[in-house]
Amino acid sequence: MSRYCQIRLGYFKANFLTSHVLKRHVLTMARSLPPLNALRAFEAAGRHESFSRAANELGVSHSAISRHVRGLEDRLGAQLFRDLPRGVALTQAGARYLAALSPAFDRIAEASEVFTHRPAGQVSVDTEPLFATNWLIPRLGDFNQRYPEIELRLGASNSLADIARYEADLAIRFYHAGPPSDDLPLVSNAPLYPFAAPFLVPEPLPPSALLKLPLLRDRYEDTWLEWAIVAGSDETPVAQSDWRLRATLAYAAALAGQGVLLTSADVTQGDVDEGRLTQCSDIGFRMGSYHLVAGEGVMRRGPVRIFRDWLLDQSAPLRSISR
């Protein structure tokens, strides 16, 4: 072999060995990550903006959270929290770091759930009484059969649950003028129609005749005037009494044949199917919608996401009513 060939062969060998060593070095080089416990402590404390709540969530002491966070700040060379007279608040750097870390923890949790049997736990849901009684509860048998490992705790109230204080994970609430935020999932926007007991209104009536019957009014609103306008009636709805009922009591009065009630198909479907109520007119209108309100961070939990998906699947027909 000529001297030139030997030199070229040596050159190629050296290049191959160098590139192979560099490639192995890159592949085996460890990520430069802070301790996982410190990241978990910061992420929980940042979400709550409270070391005490983070400690409760992770099952450790307040001092452990503080120690992890201070150690992380030293490692990063940045202040993540500032002290307040009562508690702590994220700095701008801390808020940016939290915005990057929380989605990463969410993805890890979701990826890990694939290998678990089925997410188990509790989900607390607060909804309005009439919607709970007439629509949600009759369908809970399906949820319990599908997910027996999830304990559903249902509450009913007319006031919005204080999600921020963990009174409920989720709340189903009716908004008259639209939800306060565009990211609240729509549960139902079913329109309102007049309903009554069949023995009171055996067949659909024209608006003028219907408005002469006893009209049941909700305690918080009077929708009959708006219905009369939509129906194009010259009749003015006349209240037989100043007494107004809560929605659940007004609904019971309608079942008892004491008057006609404006309400939606989402809460009347069962009673219409069983012949206890009948729709008195084809004229209806929309005046609001039910939306799902979630507490901050609760969607990180598998059981909560399962209930949300089940609820939105079950309520899909209520969002497809065109009238």
pLDDT in tens, 186-238: 999 888 999 999 999 999 999 989 998 999 887 556 688 889 888 888 766 65
**The predicted structure's pLDDT at residue 203:** 92
User: In the numeric block, which tokens belong to residue 25?
Assistant: 């070095």
Top-level class of domain 36-113: mainly alpha
Q: How many CA atoms, within 13 angstroms, populate the side-chain half-sphere of residue 119?
A: 18
Over the stretch 239-292, which tens digit does the pLDDT of each residue have?
Answer: 555 556 788 888 999 999 999 999 988 899 899 999 999 999 999 988 888 899
Domain 192-279, classified CATH 3.40.190.10, yes or no: yes
* Chain region(s) in the chain for CATH 3.40.190.10: 121-189+289-319, 192-279
**Cβ neighbours of residue 25 closer than 8 Å, sequence gap 6 or more:** none
* Chain region(s) in the chain for CATH 1.10.10.10: 36-113
134-149: average pLDDT: 93
* Contact criterion met (CB below 8 Å) for 283 and 228: no
**The predicted structure's pLDDT at residue 116:** 60
Distance CA 237, CA 221 (A): 14
Q: What average pLDDT does the structure give for the chain?
A: 82
**The predicted structure's pLDDT at residue 161:** 52
CATH homologous superfamily for 121-189+289-319?
Periplasmic binding protein-like II (3.40.190.10)
Question: What predicted TM-score, i.e. pTM, was given to this entire model?
Answer: 0.66
Distance CA 35, CA 75 (A): 10
Greatest CA span in the chain, whole angstroms?
A: 116
CB-count exposure of residue 37 (10 Å: 0-12, 13-18, 19+): middle
